[in-house]
Amino acid sequence: MAPQYLPPRILERILERLTPPLEQEPLIGDFQETFSRLALERGRVCALVWYIGCVLRLLIILVKTTLIWRLEMVKKDIKMAVRQMTKHKGYSGINIFGLAAGLACTLFILLWVQNELSFDRFHKKARSIYRVEQDQKTSEGIFHVWDVPFVLGPALQAEIPEIKNYARSFRYLRGQLVRYGEKVFYESVVGAVDPSLFQIFSFPFIQGNADTALKQPSDMIISETMAEKYFGRENPIGKTMTLNNNYPFTVSAVLKDTPPNSTLQLHIIVPMDFLKTIGRYHEEWGSNSTTTWVEVDKTASIKAVNEKITRLVRDRRGKSAQESRQEFMLKPLLDIRLNEIFGYCQRLGSLQYVRIFSTVALFVLLIACINFMNLSTARAANRAKEVGMRKVVGASRRIVARQFYVESIVTTSMAALLSVVLVLLLLPVFNSIAGTQIEISRLFQRNYFGGILAITVGAALLSGSYPAVLLSSFHPIRVLQGKLKSGAKSALFRKALVVVQFSLSILLLISASVVFRQLNYMRTKELGYDKEHLVYMQMRGETRKKYETLKEELLKSRYVVSVTGSSLQPSRLVGDTGGGADWDGKDPDYQVILGVSFVDFDYPETMKIEMAAGRTFSREFSSDRGGTYLVNEEVVKLMGIDAEEAVGKRLDFVMDGTIVGVMKNFHLQSPREAIEPRVFLIDNSELNFVVVRLQAGNITAAVEDVKRIWQRVLPLYPFEFRFFDDDFERMYRSDERMGKILEVFTVMAFLIAGLGLFGLVSYAAEQRTKEIGIRKVLGASMTNIVTIMSKEFILWVITANLVAWPLGYLVMRKWLQGFAFRTGIAWWLFAAAGLGTLAVAFAAVGFQTIRAARTDPVKALKYE
Amino acid sequence: MKGLTRKEELILLTIRALDRDAYLVAITDHLASAVGERMTLPSVHVPLTRLEKMGYIASELGEGSPVRGGRRKKIYRITKAGYRALNEYKRISENLWEAVSSQTGRKD
């Protein structure tokens, strides 16, 4: 007997599908017989090719005969949909525009959310990279920082086996004078890192490579932009750049510019050892001054590693560790953007906004979908006859439903298209409001585009299903007899939807106005100092030694009111904190963390800070040069005494001294931060900044004058200054931005909801033309009619208000708790939101009702 | 008599020639050797279905064989109507050919 060859099972299965069931057995048999004969005569491959050919040919025939006909049906549905749309241009316009606006909002928000979520994910090892952070426990609570000792990194790698690698990165060295040939700039983006950073993180190199880039102590890595800035078209590799006129470096590699969604931003990179050269490196275990990144074994338990680090530091610090109880923990790199925490539980991460905006996106989309559902069902009565006719001539419920689904898909697709166009057009605007750098290409990335498609289809199904189910359920006979009035049930549902829609809008409105008020409050609240006409300059290198001369010269100018100095950036008093303060009558177990600022005489006077008690620094007391403290009210509060009592108290913190004065609280932090307890003392050798109060009036001339003086005293150093107001703006920017986004989307939500209401009302007016006509004939006045028409709609809106108020209150109370300084939620906000929505509702309703009421009753009655 | 296409006529003739063993593959093979060009199975099957529908042929399920995976054959057999139709076609074409040959005879 001939050996038997069998065609592949899968192909046979397909073939079975393609053959008519009655003749399936003999036909498949015929195919197989031919197959095995071909295999025998010409080989298996040939037979296989033949078999596949047969299957394909049959498939093509099937597609031709069946699918095309089905498509033809869908084509018909689409044609019907387009006819419906062109016939009722107003409704379709409202539908499409409303949906498009809703979708565009959603797309923007998704883009933003995705941008936030994408932070740092481009590193290949992102999942196993952690930052070492620590909690410092004080009596005030837990103070969280992500600076750790320089010596921690090497010890971690040596002693904890789970930690595979470490890299330290020092925050930017501010104000470095960078020189290449003739080109000299101040750069505040010079960073010092360990070479291993490039093994842990995957920053792409353009020239040079990760292994050798920072090998030599004089190696330097620069970014593409920096290379452009200093070298133009020259090849930067091997060229020498000088830092602060003193330290030559050789460019060994060029990095591709760090993407905006990276936590670490690299511009000019020098080896960690440079910090030793300039004396910024500290060997002590008690000094927390660098960021340390570690790569942890994937299988390791993070909790166990945390404990090991804490124990390690405790052992190394020995006795001193007992004083400030530290606990170390690893923070996943991917968690930093969303969940960054600093200080006393300040949440700097954007998780909160990611959540808020995702909810907002959902709301706006929902509002837009509800519009669609409402308008479609409202028109049900008009289309009932159409449905009845279709059913009479033989359409099944399924076919009728499909018609409505296709209609909603056509509408949503058009809306989706429009929304993509809107997003493309408005993306630059959005970027500037949100402060992001989202590129247009992001929109067309595979997963994002898939998202758009999913949302569109989802919205189409969501908004199409209710009308489809409702309208397809009509009984043809009753419909054609004209007995169907838009049923009470569907009217109730519609009302409920409008209430939901307006509740959501009101919720957004209340939230937006609370946010706005909070932002406004933060902007205008009593700062405790006068930020107008206040500028500061940073002193670098040699300039410090000339501080006294500079001050003297500046004070001679008629534009300058007063001059002082500060060790910290004067517009943002953060950092330089420490524990171990002691004073008379302090409970020895009481742990506090105080901040310290070194200043010059005239500090409170220049800043215009008021004194709560005691005196300011004075040249008449020689002890004031480093022997006395000014403190802010927070310190006094910590000590548990009155301001008056504090004056004259002994305080041992930086040195053993006396408190001579208490300054009223002044706010030089971000709005979320509470005012830190801080002490001030005079030490001119620690000053890094000159603070100058200018005469109000001609500020430009004043700045010019200051510049002239600076150049005379310090001819070698370029003059750079900053206004306090500018820094102030900067600190508030991120919250301002979020507020702006929220505002825009609230307006959009209202617009869409209002549009929907407008559509509903105009429909209702059309429906009731006859009724209105009869009422008018019987003597109803225009006011009567407008009242009758709008009463119902207004009632819905009021209900929506009642639903939204308590929700809004709860949500906003929660949000405000994130701020150290916050406003209350005023009752009138709710009233205003209510009035606002009523106004929108009236605008939507009024126009239509008045038009309906003004029509000539004769025309109204004659129209059939 | 319903009209037959040339292909259907050939297939009908083949079934008659094959007598008792006329199933799809055998018909296709026979046609291939007679015509000199191989047709695909579906393109033979479609006229077969039509012929059956018109009542010129009838079919029954025969036996299976291992080479067919045990599936039975559908064996076609010519009906009386089929015979008549074939004879009719034969007569028509003979008549026509006769006219042709008498004409050519006169010419030569």
- In sequence order, the β-bridge partners of residue A248 are A242
Chain A residues with CB inside 8 Å of B48's CB?
A: none
B95 in a domain, yes or no?
yes
Cβ separation A33–B67 shorter than 8 A: yes
A725 in a domain, yes or no?
no
Predicted local distance difference test score (pLDDT) of residue A129? 92
B71 in a domain, yes or no?
yes
- In sequence order, the β-bridge partners of residue A599 are A566, A682
Predicted local distance difference test score (pLDDT) of residue A322? 52
Predicted local distance difference test score (pLDDT) of residue A522? 75
Predicted local distance difference test score (pLDDT) of residue A3? 52
Predicted local distance difference test score (pLDDT) of residue A442? 75
Evaluated on CA atoms A723, A728, A729, A730, the torsion sign reads positive
Most A-contacting residue of B68, B72, B74, B76 (CB-CB within 10 A), to test interface: B68
A94 in a domain, yes or no?
no
Sequence-distant (6+) residues with CB within 8 A of A172 are A188, A189, A190, A191
Predicted local distance difference test score (pLDDT) of residue A856? 77
Joined together, the tokens standing for residue A64 give 């031709």
Q: By 3-state DSSP, what share of chain B in percent is helix, strand and coil, each rounded to 5?
A: 65, 15, 20
From the list B28, B45, B69, the residue facing A29 with the nearest CB is B69
Cβ separation B42–A57 shorter than 8 A: yes
Region for residue A346 given its phi and psi (left: phi exceeds 0; alpha: psi -120 to 50; beta: otherwise): beta
Residue A597: count other Cβ atoms within 10 Å of its Cβ. Answer: 21
Predicted local distance difference test score (pLDDT) of residue A490? 65
A99 in a domain, yes or no?
no
CATH number of the CATH domain containing B54: 1.10.10.10
Most A-contacting residue of B30, B46, B71, B75 (CB-CB within 10 A), to test interface: B71
Per-residue pLDDT tens over the stretch A229-247:
888 888 888 888 888 888 8
Predicted local distance difference test score (pLDDT) of residue A17? 80
Q: How far apart are CA A472 and CA B81, in angstroms?
A: 52
Chain B residues with CB inside 8 Å of A33's CB?
A: 25, 65, 67-68
CB B79 within 8 A of CB B56: yes
A98 in a domain, yes or no?
no
Q: Do A631 and A737 belong to one domain? A: no
Q: Do A487 and A577 belong to one domain? A: no
Q: Do A339 and A370 belong to one domain? A: no
pLDDT in tens, chain B (108 residues): 568 888 999 999 999 988 888 899 999 999 999 888 888 888 899 899 999 999 999 988 888 788 887 888 889 999 999 999 999 999 999 999 988 887 765 544
Predicted local distance difference test score (pLDDT) of residue A792? 80
Residue A459: count other Cβ atoms within 10 Å of its Cβ. Answer: 25
Cβ separation A37–B66 shorter than 8 A: no
Q: How far apart are CA A570 and CA A848, in angstroms?
A: 59
Q: Do A359 and A490 belong to one domain? A: yes
From the list B28, B40, B73, the residue facing A29 with the nearest CB is B73
- Nearest by Cα to A459 from A410, A493, A397: A410
Cβ separation A4–B67 shorter than 8 A: yes
> Which of A310, A325, A345 is the last residue before a domain boundary?
A345
Q: How far apart are CA A459 and CA A340, in angstroms?
A: 35
Most A-contacting residue of B27, B45, B67 (CB-CB within 10 A), to test interface: B67
Query: Does A778 contact chain B (CB < 8 Å)?
Result: no
Query: Does A22 contact chain B (CB < 8 Å)?
Result: no
> Which of A80, A109, A140 is the last residue before a domain boundary?
A80
State the count of interchain CB pairs (< 8 A) between A and B: 55
Chain A residues with CB inside 8 Å of B69's CB?
A: 6, 28-29, 32
Distance from CA of B73 to the nearest CA of A (A): 5
CB A687 within 8 A of CB A568: no
Per-residue pLDDT tens over the stretch A132-152:
988 877 665 677 778 888 888
B46 in a domain, yes or no?
yes
Chain B residues with CB inside 8 Å of A54's CB?
A: 40-42
Q: Which residue of B has its CA nearest to A55?
A: B42
Chain A residues with CB inside 8 Å of B65's CB?
A: 33
A101 in a domain, yes or no?
no
- In sequence order, the β-bridge partners of residue A167 are A293
Report the relative pairing of strands A325-332 and A247-255 from DSSP bridges.
unpaired
In this predicted complex, what is the ipTM? 0.86
Q: Do A324 and A389 belong to one domain? A: no
Q: Do A545 and A628 belong to one domain? A: yes
CB A132 within 8 A of CB A332: no
A159 in a domain, yes or no?
yes
A272 in a domain, yes or no?
yes
Joined together, the tokens standing for residue A504 give 């959501």
Most B-contacting residue of A30, A32, A38, A49 (CB-CB within 10 A), to test interface: A30
Q: Do A735 and A712 belong to one domain? A: no
B75 in a domain, yes or no?
yes
* E-state strands within A217-374: 219-223, 240-243, 247-255, 268-271, 291-296, 325-332, 341-342, 346-347
Q: Do A27 and A171 belong to one domain? A: no
Range of the domain at B94: 6-107
Cβ separation A30–B24 shorter than 8 A: yes
Predicted local distance difference test score (pLDDT) of residue B108? 46
Q: Do A425 and A471 belong to one domain? A: yes
* E-state strands within A686-824: 689-694, 721-723
Q: Do A573 and A487 belong to one domain? A: no
Burial class (CB in 10 A: 0-12, 13-18, 19+), B20: exposed
> Which of A55, A80, A105 is the last residue before a domain boundary?
A80
Cβ separation B69–A58 shorter than 8 A: no
B68 in a domain, yes or no?
yes
Query: Does A695 contact chain B (CB < 8 Å)?
Result: no
Joined together, the tokens standing for residue A518 give 């909070």
The type of residue at A502 is F
Q: C-alpha distances in angstroms, B90 versus A564, A696, B94, B95?
A: 124, 121, 6, 9
Query: Does A16 contact chain B (CB < 8 Å)?
Result: no
Report the relative pairing of strands A291-296 and A240-243 from DSSP bridges.
unpaired
Q: How far apart are CA A189 and CA B55, in angstroms?
A: 93
Query: Does A36 contact chain B (CB < 8 Å)?
Result: yes
Q: Find the helix packing angle between A827-854 and A488-524, rounded to 10°.
A: 130
Query: Does A33 contact chain B (CB < 8 Å)?
Result: yes
From the list A6, A37, A57, the residue facing B69 with the nearest CB is A6
DSSP state of A148: B
A104 in a domain, yes or no?
no
Q: Which of residues 59-88 of A touch B (CB under 8 A)?
A: 61
Q: Do A741 and A695 belong to one domain? A: no
Residue A73: count other Cβ atoms within 10 Å of its Cβ. Answer: 13
Sequence-distant (6+) residues with CB within 8 A of A391 are A397, A400, A474, A476
- Nearest by Cα to A79 from A475, A505, A406: A406
B1 in a domain, yes or no?
no
Distance from CA of A74 to the nearest CA of B (A): 30
Residues of chain A with pLDDT under 70: 1-4, 138-141, 174-175, 286-287, 319-324, 342-349, 380-381, 482-490, 540-542, 574-579, 670-672, 860, 863-864
Predicted local distance difference test score (pLDDT) of residue B57? 92
Q: C-alpha distances in angstroms, A392 versus A477, A487, A797?
A: 8, 21, 40
Total number of domains constituting chain A:
4
Q: How far apart are CA A353 and CA A341, in angstroms?
A: 15
B83 in a domain, yes or no?
yes
Range of the domain at A819: 351-523+731-862
Total number of domains constituting chain B:
1
Residue/partner pairs of A350-354 with CB below 8 Å, 24 or more apart? A350/A116, A352/A815, A352/A818, A353/A116, A353/A738, A354/A113, A354/A116, A354/A117
Evaluated on CA atoms A783, A786, A789, A791, the torsion sign reads negative
Predicted local distance difference test score (pLDDT) of residue A775? 84
DSSP state of A627: S
Predicted local distance difference test score (pLDDT) of residue B56? 92
